[in-house]
Structure 1
């Protein structure tokens, strides 16, 4: 191709898009990233209102300790020196409030097991068997990624025998076969929220992958989720490539090759056509193939697959700032998983009930306190909270096509009703909170669709169910030559999973293995405990502002 604008054009600047772009740029390619929003990052971006900063999609990240895979990615891509992560208290990085029972997750699996056995001795036998199985699956999980020869394939049934026997079982089936107490089952199921699936549809292998991701606890980026794309963009520009924000791609340009199609570049909203040898889409499959390529250019097989594709549930997110002593109210750097119902299959089903908004409260919430995870983000006026609950999309479908700031009155009425339901539920977890609110804003599935272009505002790309992950999921390579797909709908979801997908995308273009793209020379990621500032350097301690907690409003 003559007169190329770039070697590779990347559509979207989420974790997968930026990671692929940076890996290619460091390999010598000229890469151009196009982002529709004014800020890069996708779900990782920050926004600020009234002096408070929020991160809609980043609440914690795993595998950032020494030897961790996520750490290796940021160091290997040359972005680690511009990042700092705070470690959530490993003694209780997850707090469970299930049907009135409170229990804290320890980051160490053997310690978590002991804690479970001490708290629920009547379920000791089942807990012991379940945790032993989980530890075996966690150990075997990375072995699946090391298959590199015929010998590895032949040894796989022996090296990963627990995955072979139990990996395709649902979490619900395993727990119900071992544990009779529904509350204990609920406690062991809370992290299904990180998959966006109920226990009956969560494969045990997938659940073990998540347990492994957090087996040494969770971390939060200093400066919020937006710190990650800032560091990646800085490294991208240092490598000689660039990102353009506020540029919306309207079409992926393709041409017929006789036996299929080939990507040529993109057309942006102002009519310009940009050409490249390769195009990487960080958008989800429907947005990529239906919206950007065009149905008329797809094979019958792909169109049929798209028709069957299911997406993860969208969510509602309440962004709050409160002028209260949140630590005295029981909050810390750990997440809170609240549910009045221990059966998370019922929770997920009820969340999609058309009559959900006729109720006065939600059944389940996820609560994160960013100013306690990153104490340097506290502005001296109020602590921030991000409160999440999954919902169905149908109630918002009627407002599709409307724009922020000009949506119908009915939409605003629905939002007010939802905010009231949030506060009614939050009062059960943090009594008195409603009287200390100094900022409040609600994000809906339409909000998320607007800023991330996610189909139906989905939280984790495609649904991570049996028929849509692994060899049955969407691959990085597509039927269109020169077009790759990265992000949460491909290799894995979450900040780290999407980053790995980006490396897979870059490696497929460069015809190498993705670990070969990582060179950590001169890079060392710094991590510090959120709740123990004695190990912090003096310059970082100086960033903390004193807390002031005015009396509650009458």
Structure 2
């Protein structure tokens, strides 16, 4: 059977693959996405329980005010005007520590950000103002962050550690912990994380913070709609299991369903480790193959999703980032069983029938894959239902109880208000998202050897490219930029950015990083 032929095959429909697909389709390429799951979108997926919608990975978005970076990218992709968004309150995050009655505010807008924290740190005005200036300058060093076509990063940006930066900023240990209190957004580690990872992750939320109404899956649905508008195709239940190589190039891919798809170009939106293993070491230089496969990845997550009894829990519109103490801001990923969870991120949705009350809670914390390794050989998704056994269910229940007990320090009597509860482990993320060992954010970044830990969008096979959180940055903004960066490798950086800027109105392109 002859393979179905396209110009571009994209393996995996996470955000990076969807962005790449729309960009290439807008350039006139015949594009096809192959997705293994029942739902497009990777971390954009949502699921429904008890008639309530829960997000898999999109809990809030930044940079979506007119003229800001994600607004520009989503406008070019044709989805901005159709997104249903809700602006978060001025104080969109709160940082809290055991034994401290304060809820330290993280606010939208640089002036608001500084002024809100000054109320708690009145002697740290210079440090706070320097911090927001340094955030902006660091982000400006990354051209695509600001919709520019330059391609070089100043070396000082890559090799500055987040720990060294904050130690030079202030001697106030509590302020340091507050400023890195949301580091669950990038799984920061004291000894390795570069400051630019912190800056790129945090800055866009300070620009502006929004929630997706009825979940982040609307982003993937709109991108699929846009792809089809430009003649592209997208197929579910098509898990790529093999890449065929002919004369040093990928000729076609084969799916578990037995179908074959050929193309001139292939973009992998799956974990680079998986892609390399599927292709085989013999098609790559040994040093390249082994470097990618040996890269350490960020830790995974345990998630709790709660459906609440009506009119029991007051709604909080800000996200909460809890830490056991000031040190656990950096050490939470290295938890011991006895002190788990050392941190959590918590968000609520409001009951629209009972305004002022919450109807769901989602709480996430770190979990190492080793905790679920005994069930490593099991697999369970909507399309491939499997049972991991009673011991796994018992493990999840134990962890759920520990999480609820910890959250009850902040929300008393929570356990008596729960109508239904659901949990996800690193195995869930591995099976549904396809990330190695359920990694939250792909390969770790290390300021000690920045180039070793970077994966280029362009692989060592001439017609194979990578995109997604395994390349460049993670998060909605980071992966969107990464998808554009992958296409820029194919189309040319100057050409693509010029084309994107030309397609937007002058109002959309007036980049604003002050409020």
TM-score (norm 2): 0.89
Q: For the Cα contact (< 8 Å) 1:321–1:437, is it kept in 2?
A: yes
- State the match for 1:97 in structure 2: 96
* Root mean square deviation, CA, Å: 2.8
- State the match for 1:264 in structure 2: 251
Q: 2:324 aligns with which of 330, 335, 340?
A: 340
CA distance in 1, matches of 2:449, 2:20: 22
Q: 1:418 aligns with which of 393, 399, 424?
A: 399
The secondary structure found in structure 1 opposite 2:408 is helix
The secondary structure found in structure 2 opposite 1:93 is strand
Q: 1:278 aligns with which of 265, 289, 314?
A: 265
CA distance in 2, matches of 1:58, 1:273: 33
CA distance in 2, matches of 1:135, 1:422: 37
Structure-2 change in CA distance of 1:276 and 1:89 (3 Å): same
Where does the alignment leave 5 or more consecutive residues of structure 2 unmatched?
A: 381-385, 509-515
Structure 1 residue 28, shift from structure 2 partner: 1.1
Structure 1 residue 297, shift from structure 2 partner: 2.3
- State the match for 2:368 in structure 1: 392
CA distance in 1, matches of 2:216, 2:368: 25
What whole-Å deviation, never above 9, does each CA across 1:156-211 have from its counterpart, x for those lacking one? 9xxx7xx83x7633222333344444332211111221111224432222222223
User: Are residues 1:454 and 2:435 paired?
Assistant: yes
What does 1:471-490 align with in structure 2 at a 5 Å threshold? 473-490=454-471
What whole-Å deviation, never above 9, does each CA across 1:45-73 have from its counterpart, x for those lacking one? 11112211111100111110011111111
- State the match for 2:163 in structure 1: 172
User: Are residues 1:498 and 2:499 paired?
Assistant: no
- State the match for 2:84 in structure 1: 84
Q: For the Cα contact (< 8 Å) 1:201–1:466, is it kept in 2?
A: yes
- State the match for 1:297 in structure 2: 283
CA distance in 1, matches of 2:241, 2:273: 14
Structure-2 change in CA distance of 1:251 and 1:524 (3 Å): farther
Q: For the Cα contact (< 8 Å) 1:56–1:386, is it kept in 2?
A: no
CA distance in 2, matches of 1:448, 1:265: 28
Q: For the Cα contact (< 8 Å) 1:488–1:498, is it kept in 2?
A: yes
Structure 1 residue 143, shift from structure 2 partner: 4.1
CA distance in 2, matches of 1:449, 1:472: 21
The secondary structure found in structure 2 opposite 1:215 is helix
Q: For the Cα contact (< 8 Å) 1:339–1:363, is it kept in 2?
A: yes
What whole-Å deviation, never above 9, does each CA across 1:476-499 have from its counterpart, x for those lacking one? 100011100001111211011111
What whole-Å deviation, never above 9, does each CA across 1:2-37 have from its counterpart, x for those lacking one? 975211110111110000001111111111101110
Structure-2 change in CA distance of 1:455 and 1:485 (3 Å): same
CA distance in 1, matches of 2:141, 2:459: 26
Structure 1 residue 39, shift from structure 2 partner: 0.3
Structure-2 change in CA distance of 1:376 and 1:441 (3 Å): same
User: Are residues 1:71 and 2:52 paired?
Assistant: no
Structure-2 change in CA distance of 1:334 and 1:341 (3 Å): same
Structure-2 change in CA distance of 1:471 and 1:311 (3 Å): closer
- State the match for 2:140 in structure 1: 142
- State the match for 1:529 in structure 2: none
Structure 1 residue 307, shift from structure 2 partner: 3.9
Where does the alignment leave 5 or more consecutive residues of structure 1 unmatched?
A: 526-554
What whole-Å deviation, never above 9, does each CA across 1:469-517 have from its counterpart, x for those lacking one? 5685101100011100001111211011111111122232233544245
Structure-2 change in CA distance of 1:129 and 1:508 (3 Å): same
- State the match for 2:183 in structure 1: 192
Structure-2 change in CA distance of 1:471 and 1:456 (3 Å): closer
TM-score (norm 1): 0.83
Q: For the Cα contact (< 8 Å) 2:127–2:170, is it kept in 1?
A: no
Structure-2 change in CA distance of 1:480 and 1:332 (3 Å): same
Structure 1 residue 523, shift from structure 2 partner: 13
| Number of residue-to-residue matches in the alignment | 495
CA distance in 1, matches of 2:107, 2:141: 25
Structure-2 change in CA distance of 1:112 and 1:3 (3 Å): closer
- State the match for 1:182 in structure 2: 173
Structure 1 residue 237, shift from structure 2 partner: 0.9
Larger mean CA deviation between 488-497 and 205-214 belongs to 205-214
Q: For the Cα contact (< 8 Å) 1:78–1:520, is it kept in 2?
A: no
The secondary structure found in structure 2 opposite 1:190 is coil
CA distance in 2, matches of 1:76, 1:471: 32
The secondary structure found in structure 1 opposite 2:182 is helix
